[in-house]
Every structure is written in structure tokens, then in C-alpha cells.
Amino acid sequence: MPKKHRSELLMPAGSLEKLKAAILYGADAVYMGTPDLSLRVKSKMTLEDVVEGIRYAHERGKKVYLTLNLFSHNRDIDKLPDYVETVRRVKPDGLIIADPGVFTFVKQVAPELKLHISTQANICSWQSVKFWQDLGAELCVLAREVSFEELREIRRKCPDIRLESFVHGSMCMTYSGRCLLSNFMSERGANQGACANSCRWKYKVHMKLKDGTLKELPLSEENLELFEFLLEEECRPGELMPIIEDERGSYILNSKDLNLMPRLDQLLAIGIDSLKVEGRGKSIYYAALTARAYRMAIDDWYKDPENFDPAPWMAELNTIPNRGYTLAFHEGRLSNYGHAYEMNWNFASHEYAGIVRAVEEDAFIIEVKNKLVAGDVLEFISPTRRDIMLLRIYEFIDAKSGHVGEVVHAGEKPVIRLPFALFDREDNRKLAADFPPLSIIRKEKALTDEQWKQIRLDVEAGKMELGKQSDRRYQDKKEALIAELDDVQKKRTPKTRRIGLEGCCGKGCNGCLVFWNDDKYAKARALLAKRKQGEMLERNMREDLIEG
């Protein structure tokens, strides 16, 4: 199908700095919103940031879409007039909505706004696209569960509306956003932006003895062969499915991350208008390097579609922390390779080393993000240059004191000075242009043997999805990984609580059923009602506001 125009790369903006980095590294558009109404309670965007972000993007010829895509409760309705009036003033390029009631309200009071239908609306067919088009939607974000063949048919039958499709980011283990686990285990509403990611947690099997007592059964070499745990479904008598668990627990619900780089050419060929990357809650390192990989890959395809090669950009994406990559529903059938059953680590071969904060006449000023030691090789990632600039460094100059040392600890956000003279193989006159402020620096990460095996196993799983590898080879690597995993996971403890009342931070997260319904938080709710749009309560106010 002939294309009318180029597909845009749409990146997440969880903060003003992430917005600037995403645009610097090649985004055509960004999406963002305040934490109370935008399905991301961890968003660091205030309405002032939204105004500044739109101004910044528009000055550079980029688009901004605002998110208003929660499923609204009665308490949210009173916020809408204020929010929509602000949106009208800042003039975004689109407003992302999921709730039909919110759609109708905005259409009535602000008919000039372009309305985009969120992935939360779960659009999976051309009929649904036409429904929203008839109501006046300008763009439809298709559900992650739509296969490529379905997408092709939707594009063919709906040529006169913009279509947006996810290409990268976290996946829900169930139907996007409809998560029973999050509400059941932590009283966090997934469709109000507060999903607890219960699917990422570790689960253990216990045995109930005949006397009614429950026992945890640690599996060891001595008793491993004595037990087998099997699941039988009511309508499949005799079909026994094993539940596999070892001392590290089980991660049967843990989806890998979506990555459609190997199939990017297919999406571009049928003319998908907007290619969306998930991740407003992720780091600036993720925002910048993911944008760079997809920007350059998209440009490669338009330059020479017949010889498009995703391999170098897949290699770049592997330097960004992930849970393993999957094509998910793109091929139409979600295979076992789309889930990480062994563990839920989120890591990569590289780590965030630093960011360029300023460029002086003869030096970079670098904010350090992870520990640096003499002998480390720093990789400077340019927003425009395709090659990576390398620097092995043996001493670090403190930008404030001038002190020279061999180790930099990142805990107190140190800033170091790297003179251009260190880059003796580069044209110093071009360094400032090639690596402007917000340029990212990374370095190789020291991984355990088990982590390297996990990375190699994920690569094999990706080849399996593409039909380029044998199952036997994959199983061999999987068995080797499981055989060498130690008790590291068993010793890990969660950084935040996950259980109901004890897990509520009192900040006023939109999807927290505890905060919005428990009498203990009545004072906090009253105070929050007086605050500006998008402004939440500070953690240290919690004790003062809880009655009793």
C-alpha cells in the first residue's frame, strides 16, 4: 500500500528532562501527562512542565500528545473542566483518551482538540476503528494484542484515519490493563495508572498436609525426584500440566518486553502513522538510546528498504536494561518464548555511566550516574553520529574542586570534567556539536555468569520466534542456565511493600483504592483536593495526615 507520508517515532516523556532527551535523540513526537489523570502515577510532570514541554517541542518542529486516558471514577469528573481548559491553552497536537464519557465531554467543551483513542480502549478490529472515527477521533492506538495480519487489514479498510501501534516496551501478562492480580494483591487499580506489576513477583508452591498444616517444601537433590506438582483443568481430565519451581521460586506470569525491531520493515511498509515506544516510568538512558536505535533504523528503511538490516539496532537495544525481548502477538500466536519463566531480572550488557550536563570551550562537564574506576572505557553515544566514541580513562577531575582521583562514586551526584585533549583521535572542533548537553554515556556492566547466560538464552529465544533456531539448542541453554543459578534471587527483598494498607504511601496515587476509600486518609484526601492539578502529596506528610 503506498504511503502518504513517513511514519513518526513516538517516545514517552515521564519528565521534562526525558522529553528533551527523547527529542534530542530523534523522536518525532512525545506523549506525556500529569500523574493524577494520565495512567502513570510515577510521572514527574506538573502542568507547568507540560506547558514548558510543549513549547520546547514545538520550537523544534516536534509534536506533543497529552494523556487523559484513565477510566474515570466520579471523583475524577470534577477535575476535567480545569484540566481540559488548561489543555486548550497549551495547544497540544493530540489528547489521548480511553473513557467514552471523557471523550464525549472533551468533544463538547473543546471541539478543536484532536482526540486520540488510547490503547486502554483495546481496539482490535477495523470495525472498532470505524466506530471511533465516526465519533470524531483523529487517531486510534491499536491494542498490543493485534497481530500484524490484523493490522494490515485494519490499515486497508481504514485508510482515512491515523493509526498508531506499539513497537517497544513492557508487556502485560494478561489483556492490557485488565489486571486482576494488581487489584487483588495490592489494591492498586491498573486502569487508574497504579499497576503493582504483581506479575513480576516470585511465587512459591506450598503443600497442605492432611492435618491441615501448610508446609513450604524446599527442593533439594535428595527429594527433587520424589515430587512432581501437576495442574489438571476441569474439562481436560488426565491432561496433567507440570508446575515447575525450584529454590528461586516461579515466574509463570512474567512477560518479556516487546521489541518489534526485527519486524519494523513490515510496519513501515503498510504505512502505520505512529510507532509508539512504552516507558514513561523508565530512565532518561532508556528514553534516549531507544529513540536513537529506532530513529536510525527507520531512516535506514526509508533510505533503502530492500536492504534493511535490523541487526545493528537490535544490538543497540540489547545495551538497554530489559527482561528479554519478544515479538509478542505480532505473528498472531503468543509462544512460550514470550515469557521469562526462569527469573525476572531487568538488566543488560551495559549501564548508564553519565550524562553531558554542559559543554565548555575545551571540555565536557559530566554528571556521573554509576561508579567509575580508573581503566573504565566510556562509550559516548551521539544523537547524530552513528559510531560510538570510546574513551579509556585513568583519572577523574572533580568539576567543582579540581581534585583528581581514580574512583568516582555516584551516590552524591558527582560532576567531573573531561578535557577535549583526552580525545586525541577526534576532531575537537566537532565534539560540541556531536555531543551536546543531555548526550548519554554508557559503559559495560559487570555481570555474573548467570546473567550472561540469561542474555544468551534471551537471544536464542528471539531466534526461535523468528524461526532461525532449533528448539534443542534453546533447551540446552535453558537447562545450563537453570543448573548454574544460585540463591541470589532467594535473598532479594522487594524495595517497596506490596500488601494493601501497609503498602499505601499516602501520596494520593489515582489508582490506589486504599488511599481513596480508607477513613485513615480522609485528611490527606481533603488536602489533595486543594492542590493544583498534577500535584501529589509528599511522602513525609503521611503520618501527620492520617487520623489517629
Render 217-242 in DSSP notation, one character per residue: ----TTTGGG---EEE-TTSTT-EEE
Any domain includes 383:
yes
| Distance separating alpha carbons of residues 278 and 118, to the nearest angstrom | 13
On whether both 391 and 288 belong to a single domain, the answer is no
Chosen domain end from 420, 444, 468: 444
User: Which residues neighbour 494 within 8 Å (Cβ) at sequence distance 6 or greater?
Assistant: 201
Distance CA 366, CA 25 (A): 18
> What domain range includes position 358?
350-444
Residue 241 lies in a domain: no
pLDDT tens, residue order, the chain (548 aa) = 444 579 999 999 989 999 999 999 999 999 998 655 554 545 567 778 888 999 999 999 999 999 888 778 898 888 888 888 888 888 999 999 999 999 999 999 999 999 999 998 999 999 999 999 999 999 999 999 899 999 999 999 999 999 999 999 988 766 565 665 666 566 665 555 566 666 666 655 566 666 666 666 565 555 556 666 666 666 767 766 655 554 444 455 667 899 999 999 999 999 999 999 998 889 999 999 999 999 999 999 999 999 999 999 999 999 999 988 999 889 987 666 666 655 666 789 999 999 999 999 999 999 999 999 999 999 999 999 999 999 999 999 999 999 999 999 988 889 999 999 999 889 999 999 999 999 999 999 988 777 777 788 788 888 888 888 777 777 777 776 666 654 444 444 444 444 455 567 677 776 677 788 888 888 888 888 887 655 677 755 655 665 44
Domain membership flag for residue 138: yes
C-beta of residue 96 within 8 angstroms of C-beta of residue 70: no
Are 355 and 300 within one domain? no
> For position 17, what pLDDT does the model report?
96
What CATH number has the domain bearing residue 161?
3.20.20.70
Contacts of 262 (CB under 8 A, 6+ apart): 310, 314, 327, 462, 466
Of 347, 329, 346, nearest to 338 by C-alpha is: 329
Euclidean distance between CA atoms 194 and 190, whole angstroms:
5
Task: Record the cell numbers describing residue 510, joined without a space.
Answer: 489515582
Q: What is the CATH number of the domain that holds 358?
A: 2.40.30.10
CA dihedral over 432, 434, 439, 445, signed as positive or negative = negative
Check whether residue 72 and residue 159 sit in a common domain: yes
Q: Does 147 share its domain with 16?
A: yes
Gap between the Cα atoms of 196 and 183, Å rounded:
8
Which residues, 6 or more positions from 248, have their beta carbon under 8 angstroms from its beta carbon? 202, 342, 343, 485, 487, 489, 490
DSSP string over 475-512: HHHHHHHHHH--SHHHH---SS--SGGGG--SS--TTB
Does 534 share its domain with 390? no
- Give yes or no: residues 95 and 15 share one domain: yes
Structural domain contains residue 1: no
pLDDT of residue 486: 47
Residues 33 and 109 in one domain: yes
Q: Does some domain include residue 197?
A: no
Same domain, 129 and 20: yes
- One domain, residues 101 and 15: yes
Helices 449-465, 471-484: inter-axial angle, 10-degree rounding: 160
Would you give the distance in Å from CA 268 to the centre of its chain?
22
Q: Which three cell numbers stand for residue 328?
A: 509478542
Same domain, yes or no, for 140 and 273? yes
Instruction: Tell which residue, 68, 124, 120, 70, has the closest CA to residue 92.
Output: 68
For the chain, what is the domain count?
3
pLDDT computed for residue 75 by the predictor: 84
CA dist 293 and 312 (Å) reads 9
Residue 320 covered by a domain:
no
**Nearest to 118, CA basis, from 147, 139, 88:** 139
Q: Which three cell numbers stand for residue 155?
A: 490499515
Cβ-based neighbours of 290, under 8 Å, separated by 6 or more:
11, 168, 277, 279, 317, 320
Does residue 364 sit in helix, strand or coil?
A: strand
Q: What is the 3-state secondary structure (H, E, C) of 384-418?
A: CCCCCEEEECCCEEECCCCCEECEECHHHCCEEEE
Distance CA 324, CA 313 (A): 15
Q: What is the pLDDT of residue 45?
A: 75
168 bridge partner residues: 259, 277
Q: Are 321 and 346 in contact (CB under 8 A)?
A: yes
Could you tell me which residues come within 8 angstroms of residue 265 by beta carbon, excluding any fewer than 6 positions away? 301, 305, 308, 310
CA–CA gap between residue 128 and residue 121 (Å, rounded) = 10
Of 306, 334, 363, the last residue of a domain is 306
The strands making up 350-359's β-sheet, listed across from edge to edge, are 389-392, 377-381, 440-444, 350-359, 363-368, 415-419, 396-398, 404-405
Give me the pLDDT at residue 516, please. Answer: 80
Closest alpha carbon to 418 in 382, 361, 365, 359: 365
Residues 360, 504: one domain? no
Q: Give the residue from 306, 339, 367 where a domain finishes.
A: 306
Residue 480 lies in a domain: no
Q: Which amino acid is at 25?
A: Y
Q: Is residue 465 part of a domain?
A: no
Do 290 and 141 have their domain in common?
Answer: yes
pTM as predicted: 0.79
